[in-house]
Amino acid sequence: MKTYFSDLRLISSAITVAVRLLSVFVILGLYELSIYLLPKEIEFVSEIAVLTCLVFGVFAILPIQEKISGFLKSTFVSEYLSDDPGSSRLAHRRFDSEGLIKNVFPELVRLTNSNFGKLAILKNDLVHYELYTYAHKKQRKVNTFEGINPRAALLTYILNKRSGAMIGEPDQNKIINEEFVSLRANFILPFVFREKLFGFLAVSNIPKDNVRHELGFLAGKCALAVHNQILSSQIAENKKYRKELENAGKIRKFLESPEPPMVGDIKIDLLSREPGELLEFFQSPSGDFYFVFLRLSVTNAVSVLALCYILGTLYSSRINGELKNILQIKSLVEENLKEISWTERYDLAVGMVEKETGKISLRFIGKTFKLFDVSKPDRNLASIGWENIETPGKDPLFLTWNDRNIISFQHLGIKP
């Protein structure tokens, strides 16, 4: 015989009985209506009425009964506490761990006859856990915010204890015992699904053997609930950023630089460009040209979005007339990389070609840049840490990154 251990279990059973009795009364009412409406001249009126009620009950009443029962149980109790197949299927489809925390967590604590318990739930990053407490018979969650160390030895230990772990077991070491004490727990029940720990329940009392069996059954549902919640969040996040990624793919085409500009007598040639790089030219009101080369160490969808963001910021600053000098552009790129929390390595070169004098000014970040005259390829004309100024002659100047030629500058007004 099933043990009714809580008010919510009693409510669930009452809903099941009430809905089934309602179905019986509806079918009886349909039978009486059929007897009343069928012509009295035909034979077998009662048999036809019974057959009508049977067909209607199987194909209409039973599905509606299941829907109503599931709706009422999802409203007044948690689906995870119900043994009804319909409610159980509904629980598997629901991607909501809030119901687990609000309804199931207090029931699990009371099932063990404990007055205090803690619940750990795996977060969406699949690494860290959030810790909740329950005490003094209050059915509300209290987030303690301290969380739990994802590398704790206790988590590895309880992963192999599907039926629960008690404090002081022979295979426990001093560290595990200390973690039991820090949780104020004498019994811990893990939530395991597909060999992954999705959380655990820590309570102050050690439950009886028959109760531990029921706890293990509910622990499987809890693990599945957290798994579904994480899966749902990942799907929602992918949908959220799908549009941005599609737009990024379109904007990425604009990262392919057009033909380099002619600045006075200075001819600029773009020699190479690879994915994960941003190379753009911006003209100032005076006719001078700025150029920005940004190389990110990682090439993926995130880096494309980062390049698009930097490109948009540069164009916005250009339209607003905020591009004054190369130091200001360099600082603008660095500040925006920090703003988007870019923690990977990057290489940056910012330069300007003056229209009147033909001088080239260059600042860069990274040790792989080199500016050299084609007649003296071993001599690096640019140094890190300050603004380098050079004037192209009859021989072109090359800007390279990691020994790859990127841009060349040549003064066409000088005849050999």
Measured distance CA(395)–CA(372) in Å, rounded: 10
**Mean pLDDT over each residue of the chain, to the nearest integer:** 78
379 pLDDT more than 60: yes
| Amino acid at residue number 94 | R
Tens-place pLDDT, residues 303-347: 777 888 888 888 777 777 777 788 888 888 888 888 887 878 888
Q: What are phi and psi of 135, to 5 degrees?
A: -155, 155
Tens-place pLDDT, residues 357-377: 878 888 888 878 888 888 888
Q: What is the pLDDT of residue 189?
A: 92
β-sheet with 187-193: strand ranges across = 142-143, 129-135, 116-122, 196-203, 187-193, 165-166
92 pLDDT more than 60: no
Residues ≥6 apart with Cβ < 8 Å to 73: 12, 15, 79, 82, 84, 87
pLDDT interval class at 352 (50, 70, 90): confident
Most confident of 99-113, 136-150, 190-204, 369-383: 190-204
Q: Which of 184, 183, 196 is nearest to 222 (CA)?
A: 196
143 pLDDT more than 90: no
Average pLDDT over residues 270-289: 79
Q: Where are the domains of the chain?
A: 8-76, 97-233, 256-411
Q: Would you give the DSSP letter of residue 265?
A: T
Q: What is the pLDDT of residue 101?
A: 77
Strand partners, 279: 293
284 pLDDT more than 50: yes
Q: What are phi and psi of 312, to 5 degrees?
A: -65, -40
79 pLDDT more than 70: no
Q: Which of 25, 36, 124 is nearest to 65 (CA)?
A: 25
Tell me how far the alpha carbon of residue 174 is from its chain's centroid.
36
Handedness of CA 338, 342, 347, 353 (dihedral sign): negative
Q: What is the pLDDT of residue 3?
A: 44
Q: At what angle do helices 62-76 and 85-93 cross, to 10 degrees?
A: 60
- Percent of the chain exceeding pLDDT 90 equals 4
pLDDT interval class at 200 (50, 70, 90): very high
188 pLDDT more than 90: yes
What are the tokens at 120? 């750990």
Residues ≥6 apart with Cβ < 8 Å to 164: 187, 188, 189, 190, 207, 212, 215, 216
Q: What is the pLDDT of residue 395?
A: 81
DSSP H helical ranges for 38-148: 45-56, 62-76, 85-93, 97-99, 105-111
Helix/strand/coil for 120: strand
263 or 294: which leads in pLDDT: 294
174 or 285: which leads in pLDDT: 174
Q: What is the pLDDT of residue 259?
A: 56
DSSP letters for 286-331: TS-EEEEEEEES--SHHHHHHHHHHHHHHHHHHHTT---SHHHHHH
Tens-place pLDDT, residues 34-78: 888 888 777 788 888 888 888 888 888 888 888 887 778 766 766
CATH no. of 97-233: 3.30.450.40
Q: What is the pLDDT of residue 241?
A: 56
Q: What is the pLDDT of residue 78?
A: 60
Residue 274 in contact with residue 409, Cβ under 8 Å?
Answer: no
Residue 189 in contact with residue 219, Cβ under 8 Å?
Answer: yes
Helix/strand/coil for 13: helix
Computed over its alpha carbons, how large is the radius of gyration of the chain? 36
Kindly state the greatest CA–CA separation across the chain: 120
Q: Which of 248, 289, 265 is nearest to 392 (CA)?
A: 265
* Domain 256-411 classification at class level: alpha beta
40 or 23: which leads in pLDDT: 23
Average pLDDT over residues 105-120: 85
pLDDT interval class at 416 (50, 70, 90): very low
